[in-house]
Amino acid sequence: MTAPAILPSVAGLRDAVSIWRAGGLPVALVPTMGALHEGHLALVHAARAHGGRTVVSLFVNPTQFAPGEDFALYPRDEADDLAKLAAAGVDAVFMPPTEAVYPPGFATTVTVDGVSAGLEGAARPHFFAGVATVVTKLLLQCLPDVALFGEKDYQQLIVVRRLVADLDIPCRIEAVPTVRAADGLALSSRNAYLSADERRIAPRLFQVLSGMAAALAGGAAAADQIADGTATLEAAGFTRIDYLAVCDAETLEAVDRVSGPARVLAAAWLGETRLIDNVPVSPAGRAG
C-alpha cells in the first residue's frame, strides 16, 4: 500500500496531473467533503477502474452551508480519511486550505438555473450556488478526464452535468449508484448524527421511496403516491418532510404519471438530522 501524495496547492495538483497526462494516463477526480464512508469508496473504485490516476479532493466547502446549518459540526476526520484513501489505492489527495479555494477578494459565483430551482434548491436556497461554484473550481483546478458523483445526491449530479455542458468544461461526469446499509439506508456522512432510535426509523425512507417507485412504474398517479408516502413517513416518526416528489430523471420537472425515466426524491428530517434519498422509476417495459 503506497500512501497517496498530499497536495495542498493548486500548482502542485496541476503539476501532478500534467505529468500523468504526459505519460498517457487518464485522470479521475472524486470530489468529497471528507468523513468518508463506503459510498465515497465506491466512487474511488469506479475512478480507479478507468485505469489511470485517481485524485480525491477533501474540502468542506463553506459556501454550500447557510448560516445556522451544520458547517461547524460537519464530521471531520482527516487521519481516518487518509488511511481509507491509502487503502483504496488513491494516487493523490487534494486538500486545499480555504484561502486556496476562496482567496481574499473572491467575487465569482456559478449559478445554474432550472435544474437547481426545486427540491434541494427550494429547501436550501444557498446550496447549489455553493456546490456549483466549488465543483467548477475543482474541475478547473484539476482538469480531470472524468469526475465521479454519487446518485445519492441526484439533483447535485444533474446540476453538475448541466454546468459542465454549459461552461464547456472538458470533463466527463460519471454517476455511481447509491451505496446502502443492509437495511436500505443510503450511506451519508450525516448518518453519524442519528440517535439509536432515529437510526432504527431511518430505513423507512428508502422503503417508502421504493414502494412509490413500484406503484408509479405500474401506472399510479404521482399525487396519490406522494400523499400516501408523506402519511407513511409521518407515521413512522419523520418530524418534517421538506419534499417528496416524482420528477423527470433529466429535467427534474414534476411528473403526474410516469411515462419515461423518472426519479422519486425526498428530503425528510428525523429530529435534528436531515436525510435525503432517491430511487429510479422505470415505467413497465422500459429501462430507466
What are the catalytic residues? 40
- Work out how close the CB of 61 gets to ligand PAF at its nearest, in angstroms, rounded to a whole number: 4
Give the x-and-dash track for 26-45 against ligand PAF (CB under 6 A). Answer: -----xxx------------
| Residue 18 or 98 having the CB closest to ligand PAF | 98
Residues 111-150 that bind ligand PAF (CB under 6 A): 131, 134-135
Q: For residue 43, give the 3-state DSSP assignment.
A: helix
- Work out the number of other CB atoms within 10 angstroms of the CB of residue 107: 5
Q: Give the interface size with ligand PAF as a residue count (CB under 6 A).
A: 10
- Work out how close the CB of 150 gets to ligand PAF at its nearest, in angstroms, rounded to a whole number: 7
Q: Which residue in the set 16, 17, 41, 61 belongs to the binding site for ligand PAF (CB under 6 A)?
A: 61
248 bridge partner residues? 262
State how far the Cα of 211 lies from the Cα of 215, in Å rounded to an integer.
Answer: 6
| Residue 58 or 208 having the CB closest to ligand PAF | 58
**Nearest 5 degrees, angle CA 32-CA 77-CA 13?**
45
Which residue reads 446518485 in cell numbers? Answer: 151
Pairing between strand 146-150 and 262-270?
A: unpaired
Phi, psi of 244, rounded to the nearest 5 degrees: -140, 115
| Residue 188 or 225 having the CB closest to ligand PAF | 188
Backbone region of residue 253 per phi and psi (left: phi > 0; alpha: psi in -120 to 50; beta: other values): beta
**Nearest 5 degrees, angle CA 87-CA 88-CA 90?**
105
State how far the Cα of 252 lies from the Cα of 261, in Å rounded to an integer.
Answer: 11
| Residue 82 or 255 having the CB closest to ligand PAF | 82
Amino acid (1-letter code) at residue 30: V
- Work out how close the CB of 119 gets to ligand PAF at its nearest, in angstroms, rounded to a whole number: 14
- Work out how close the CB of 95 gets to ligand PAF at its nearest, in angstroms, rounded to a whole number: 13
| Residue 133 or 225 having the CB closest to ligand PAF | 133
- Work out how close the CB of 267 gets to ligand PAF at its nearest, in angstroms, rounded to a whole number: 14
Q: Which residue in the set 145, 151, 153, 198 belongs to the binding site for ligand PAF (CB under 6 A)?
A: 153
Q: For residue 149, give the 3-state DSSP assignment.
A: strand
Backbone region of residue 254 per phi and psi (left: phi > 0; alpha: psi in -120 to 50; beta: other values): beta
Binding site for ligand PAF (CB under 6 A): 31-33, 61, 64, 131, 134-135, 153, 156
